[in-house]
């Protein structure tokens, strides 16, 4: 294995030792003890046979038998406990892996979440060995490693001293000793050859998995996640998407069959050669021990010990090749996991606390701000300079791709600016403590997410919440009538993913819940990105009419494609190609010969 692969595998092992040390210790104990038993049994059997042939007393023979049975029994009991613990933890290995990936996703820089390469690594990791996952497969490999290592070490410890002792006791001639040494060297060389054959096949198999299985399994997982969503199924059914999906599935099926055929060719050849070689080694072992035993070079008991030990070693030397292949396959995903988990934090973490003002007076300034997304060449925001104060109600309008949503991402510090800086109360926002800075904003994103938790917890983002404050937020968002109909009130689950008694809210109702969530936060800034997109005209009018009640004296930034919904704002910014090309009230901008007037009349012609 390459140095980088070894490093990646050890990275997973360290992670497992941190997250489930008991399971890993049990894993190692099992790997050691399970293969010690045959050597203990063989050694004690050899002693018993030799003692019997030498005419030892019944008490001595019973003592040997009792010791052998007792030791094997103790080892078996300890191993059984370790196995039970090991299987308990390996069953949760996949969940622990998912948990670590999810936690990393929550704390990593937001820009990574919109990076297709990062997303691809995560999907590839999740698609690997779906039953046990990467963590479970690594635990299994650790078990096999210690089994192989224990077998080889135990054989060396048992066979060599006993062989030397036998030769000394029997006064064995030089030729017999020399032939025995050659025999053992031959067995070692054949075992190494066996490992090499398995390694070559494992390398071929790993290459097939890396080049063919990973891409197709990642796509398969994408489709499975897609089809699990009701929203996706609506589009599939009503937009005639089934034919193109059928075509893609047919291609994916062909690719899966292709890599499975290639893998089968490899896996079919390997056992024929390696099993034949292992069988040949076993035959040689029995011939050697039989000849030396009947020739008197070694005792019959020693012959039994040697035959058992050497056979065990030869079989596990075969497993070493399989272990190498398993580790190389694990290394593919371990590298992806390590790369994902070690993604550096690019965003500067400030330490300055946000000023606590009783009057909630905050000023925001974009000072010659320019921004382009990581890896892109074109700027989305170009040399933007503007300033606004707390209490203002500002609308942002413009064509698709004009930079409106990017403006919000920069203000919320989901991304840091490429050039220039954004200031709050005259201080670069990168110098503020990030968590405190986020608390300045109550945001309703266009693609908002409402989790299937109890309503009160969703509003507060916490298990503990202020009931009066939560109900007030729902009333101000226009959900008063609907809330009164909920049998469980704020304890009502949203959706039925976690509770069958949950309520399936409509898209418009969920949008109002998102608005209520922002109101509950009671932040100085309220940002609404298309907050009425899922509302009917009556509900939309209700939001506009109650807008002042909703935001109070806070700064409100309202983004919308529908210019009619921006008339109530005191100030309107018109974005075009990453710049503010117009700035003023609706009345002022409607009179000017510019983009706003063009967009206004383009939309107004559809209204009577």
86-110: per-residue pLDDT in tens? Answer: 877 777 777 888 888 888 888 888 8
The verdict on 377 and 264 lying in the same domain is no
Residue 369 lies in a domain: yes
Residue scoring higher pLDDT (584 or 309): 584
Mean pLDDT for 293-299 is: 74
pLDDT of residue 547 exceeding 80 = no
CA dihedral of 306, 308, 314, 317, whole degrees rounded to 10: -110
Cβ proximity of 298 and 163 under 8 Å: yes
Of 114-123, 266-275, 451-460, 553-562, highest mean pLDDT: 451-460
pLDDT at 357: 62
pLDDT of residue 608 exceeding 60 = no
Domain that holds residue 464: 451-504
For the chain, percent of residues with pLDDT exceeding 90: 5
Mean pLDDT for 338-343 is: 90
Q: How far is CA 191 from CA 71, 274, 278, in A?
A: 30, 10, 8
Q: Name the band, by pLDDT with cuts 50, 70 and 90, for residue 417.
A: very high
Residue 353 lies in a domain: no
Q: Name the band, by pLDDT with cuts 50, 70 and 90, for residue 428.
A: very high
The verdict on 32 and 85 lying in the same domain is yes
Residue 436 lies in a domain: yes
Query: What is the C-alpha to C-alpha distance for residues 145 and 324, in angstroms, rounded to an integer?
Result: 9
Edge to edge, what strands does the sheet with 381-389 contain? 381-389, 363-371, 419-424, 427-428
Q: Which two three-digit tokens encode residue 90?
A: 């390996």
Span 344-367, pLDDT tens digits: 887 777 888 887 666 666 788 899
Domain limit, last residue, from 306, 341, 376: 341
Domain limit, last residue, from 504, 521, 547: 504
Residue 352 lies in a domain: no
Residue 347 lies in a domain: no
Residue scoring higher pLDDT (240 or 466): 466
Number of structural domains (the chain) is 3
DSSP state of 429: G
Span 132-188, pLDDT tens digits: 788 888 888 888 888 888 887 877 777 777 777 777 776 777 777 788 788 778 877
Cβ proximity of 125 and 101 under 8 Å: yes
pLDDT at 359: 60
pTM recorded for the entire structure: 0.73
The verdict on 386 and 472 lying in the same domain is no
Query: What is the C-alpha to C-alpha distance for residues 44 and 63, in angstroms, rounded to an integer?
Result: 10
Q: Name the band, by pLDDT with cuts 50, 70 and 90, for residue 542.
A: low
3-state class (DSSP) for residue 61 = helix
β-strands 579-584, 571-576 pairing: antiparallel
For position 168, which CATH number holds? 1.20.1560.10
The verdict on 588 and 456 lying in the same domain is no
The verdict on 398 and 478 lying in the same domain is no
* Site of tokens 């935001």: 551
Neighbours of 58 (CB within 10 A): 8
Query: What is the C-alpha to C-alpha distance for residues 110 and 413, in angstroms, rounded to an integer?
Result: 9
The verdict on 599 and 466 lying in the same domain is no
| 355-362: long-range pairs with CB below 8 Å, 24+ | 355/425, 360/390, 360/524, 360/553, 360/554, 361/389, 361/390, 362/389, 362/390, 362/424, 362/425, 362/440, 362/524, 362/525, 362/555
Q: Name the band, by pLDDT with cuts 50, 70 and 90, for residue 419.
A: very high
The verdict on 39 and 128 lying in the same domain is yes
Least confident of 33-47, 364-378, 458-472: 33-47
3-state class (DSSP) for residue 181 = helix
At residue 115, what are phi and psi to the nearest 5 degrees?
-100, 120
Say if residue 128 is exposed, middle or buried (CB neighbours under 10 Å; 0-12, 13-18, 19+): buried
The verdict on 444 and 299 lying in the same domain is no
Residue 346 lies in a domain: no
Mean pLDDT for 280-307 is: 76
Neighbours of 54 (CB within 10 A): 10
Residue 357 lies in a domain: no
Of 125-129, 233-237, 348-352, 571-575, highest mean pLDDT: 571-575
For position 541, which CATH number holds? 3.40.50.300
Least confident of 360-364, 378-382, 444-448, 517-521: 360-364
The verdict on 201 and 319 lying in the same domain is yes
The verdict on 481 and 541 lying in the same domain is no
DSSP state of 497: S
Q: Which residues pair with 421 in a beta bridge?
A: 367
* Site of tokens 């698609």: 127
pLDDT at 371: 93
The verdict on 33 and 118 lying in the same domain is yes
At 442, which helix (H) or strand (E)? Answer: strand 441-444
Q: Name the band, by pLDDT with cuts 50, 70 and 90, for residue 271.
A: low
Span 578-592, pLDDT tens digits: 888 888 888 888 888
Residue 375 lies in a domain: yes
Domain limit, last residue, from 504, 522, 549: 504
Cβ proximity of 513 and 535 under 8 Å: no
Q: Name the band, by pLDDT with cuts 50, 70 and 90, for residue 34.
A: confident
Q: Name the band, by pLDDT with cuts 50, 70 and 90, for residue 284.
A: confident
CA dihedral of 500, 504, 510, 513, whole degrees rounded to 10: -50
């Amino acid at each position: 294995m390459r140095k980088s692969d070894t490093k990646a595998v050890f990275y997973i092992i360290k992670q497992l030792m941190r997250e489930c040390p008991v399971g890993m210790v049990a894993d190692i104990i099992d790997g050691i003890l399970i293969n010690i038993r045959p050597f203990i049994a063989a050694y004690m059997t050899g002693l018993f046979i030799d003692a019997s042939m030498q005419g030892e007393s019944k008490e001595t023979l019973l003592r040997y038998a009792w010791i052998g049975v007792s030791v094997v029994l103790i080892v078996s009991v300890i191993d059984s406990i370790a196995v039970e613990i090991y299987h308990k933890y390996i069953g949760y290995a996949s969940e622990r892996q998912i948990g670590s990936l999810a936690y990393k996703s929550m704390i990593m820089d937001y820009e990574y979440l919109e990076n297709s390469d990062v997303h691809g690594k995560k999907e590839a990791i999740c698609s690997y060995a779906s039953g046990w996952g990467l963590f479970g497969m690594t635990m299994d490999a650790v078990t096999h490693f210690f089994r192989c290592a224990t077998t080889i070490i135990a054989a060396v410890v048992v066979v060599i001293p006993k062989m030397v002792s036998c030769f000394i006791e029997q006064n064995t001639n030089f030729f017999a000793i020399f032939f025995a040494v050659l025999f053992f060297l031959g067995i070692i060389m054949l075992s190494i050859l066996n490992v090499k054959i398995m390694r070559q096949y494992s390398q071929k198999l790993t290459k097939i998995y890396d080049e063919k299985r990973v891409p197709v399994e990642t796509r398969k997982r994408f489709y499975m996640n897609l089809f699990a969503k009701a929203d996706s199924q609506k589009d599939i059914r009503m937009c005639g998407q089934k034919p193109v999906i059928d075509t893609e599935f047919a291609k994916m099926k062909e690719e899966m069959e292709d890599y499975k055929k290639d893998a089968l060719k490899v896996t079919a050849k390997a056992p024929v050669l390696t099993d034949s070689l292992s069988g040949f080694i076993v035959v040689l072992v029995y011939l050697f021990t039989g000849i030396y035993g009947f020739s008197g070079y070694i005792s019959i008991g020693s012959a039994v010990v040697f035959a058992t030990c050497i056979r065990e070693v030869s079989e596990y030397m075969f497993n070493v090749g399989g272990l190498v292949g398993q580790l190389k396959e694990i290394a593919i995903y371990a590298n992806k996991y390590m790369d994902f988990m070690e993604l550096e934090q690019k965003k500067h973490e400030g330490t300055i606390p946000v000023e606590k003002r009783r009057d909630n007076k905050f000023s925001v300034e974009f000072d010659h701000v320019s921004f382009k997304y990581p890896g892109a060449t074109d700027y989305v925001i170009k040399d933007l300079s503007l300033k606004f104060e707390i209490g203002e109600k500002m609308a942002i309008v413009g064509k698709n791709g004009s930079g409106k949503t990017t403006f919000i991402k920069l203000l919320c510090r989901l991304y840091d600016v490429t050039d220039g800086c954004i200031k709050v109360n005259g201080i670069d926002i990168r110098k503020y403590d990030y968590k405190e800075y986020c608390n300045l904003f109550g945001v309703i994103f266009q693609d908002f997410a409402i989790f299937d938790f109890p309503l009160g917890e969703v509003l507060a983002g916490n298990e503990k919440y202020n009931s009066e404050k939560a109900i007030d937020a729902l009333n101000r968002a226009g959900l008063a009538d609907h809330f009164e109909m909920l049998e469980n009130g704020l304890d009502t689950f949203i959706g039925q993913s976690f509770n069958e008694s949950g309520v399936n809210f409509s898209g418009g109702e969920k949008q109002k819940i998102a608005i209520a969530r922002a109101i509950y936060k009671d932040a100085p800034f309220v940002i609404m990105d298309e907050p009425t997109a899922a509302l009917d005209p009556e509900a939309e009018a209700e939001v506009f009419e109650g807008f002042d009640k909703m935001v109070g004296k806070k700064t409100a930034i309202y983004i919308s494609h529908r210019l009619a919904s921006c008339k109530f704002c005191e100030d309107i910014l018109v974005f075009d190609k990453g710049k503010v090309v117009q700035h003023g009230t609706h009345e002022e901008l409607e009179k000017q010969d510019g983009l706003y007037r063009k967009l206004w009349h383009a939309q107004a012609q559809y209204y009577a």
